[in-house]
Amino acid sequence: MKTLDIHNTLCYNIGTKRDGVYMLDIIKEADAIIITAGAGMGVDSGLPDFRGDAGMWKAYPALGEKKISFSSIANPAAFANNPELAWAFYGHRYDLYKSTVPHEGFQMLLDLCKEKDHFVVTSNVDGQFQKAGFSEDKVYEIHGRIHTFQCTNCNAVWQPDLEGFGVDPNTLEFTSEMPKCDCGELARPNIMMFGDYGYNSEISSKQEDKFNDFMHKHDKGNKIVIIEIGAGTAIPSIRHMGEFISEKVDGATLIRINPREAFGPEGTISVEKGGVEGLKEIL
């Protein structure tokens, strides 16, 4: 039995009262909180969400001029065919994510989770949750992270000691030395890319194991609230996870914060707002 039975197309102000319940009360009464986040989570920090090739080409005009799609550059084949361009793209993103300050919504989530068992599941590779103060042991990065490298040859994984690359996003001219493994071969980010059969999932698999332990702890008789932020339908991994948990785990409630795609299965609490604005209403 779900906490609320709300039609899947209904969107409303979560600060208002409905059926005698406030959304903040649902969170306070929960035994555990799962935060799920997609690319939209970073928008309030000024990060691009790459909504289609047009969005990426706006952020990277040099790729737009050559009509290079996101799926083509975010691909292990790019490191084999055009490693300078591939590293220019990922080198700029490395610098961007390293310099970005997490927006105030991260602190709001930390406050909500302060006295609750919680876990973060994100498709973002920017490391913003850890930078904001969430424990490494409470974060599952399903697509890996940009600040970890892996070898294109021996598949070794390591944390690089790099200040940055200094790539101009307008020209994507790569003037730095391309990172290499101790074995001498080219490195690449430890990120799950398109058509990626060589991704080393060592780190993300350990994170997944910890998340599964968390779920086993709470999937029987506990109230779970899933707060999903900025997860779109283009690559719906995060949306599917929240929907699966809310449908299969008795006592789970899905709160979906999304300015354009807030709809969801029956029982979803849909909030048609950006991340920070939606979280402010909860608080």
* pTM, entire model: 0.90
- Asked if the structure places residue 269 within a domain, the reply is yes
Radius of gyration over alpha carbons of the chain, in Å?
20
Q: What is the DSSP string of 211-241?
A: HHHHHHHHTTT--EEEEEES--SSSTHHHHH
Residue 13 pLDDT: 38
65 Cβ neighbours under 8 A, 6+ residues apart: none
Residue 56 pLDDT: 87
- Asked if the structure places residue 17 within a domain, the reply is no
Q: Which domain holds residue 162?
A: 23-282
207 Cβ neighbours under 8 A, 6+ residues apart: 139, 140, 141
Q: What is the CATH number of the domain that holds 69?
A: 3.40.50.1220
Residue 21 pLDDT: 53
The total number of structural domains that make up the chain: 1
pLDDT average per 10 residues of sequence, the chain (283 residues): 30 39 86 96 87 82 94 96 97 96 97 95 97 97 97 97 94 95 98 97 98 94 95 93 94 94 93 94 83
Tokens of 9: 């197309």
Residue 104 pLDDT: 97
Residue 7 pLDDT: 27
- Asked if the structure places residue 3 within a domain, the reply is no
Dist. CA 39–CA 247, nearest whole Å: 23
- Asked if the structure places residue 190 within a domain, the reply is yes
Cβ–Cβ under 8 Å, residues 174 and 165: yes
Dist. CA 234–CA 193, nearest whole Å: 15
- Asked if the structure places residue 60 within a domain, the reply is yes
Residue 51 pLDDT: 64
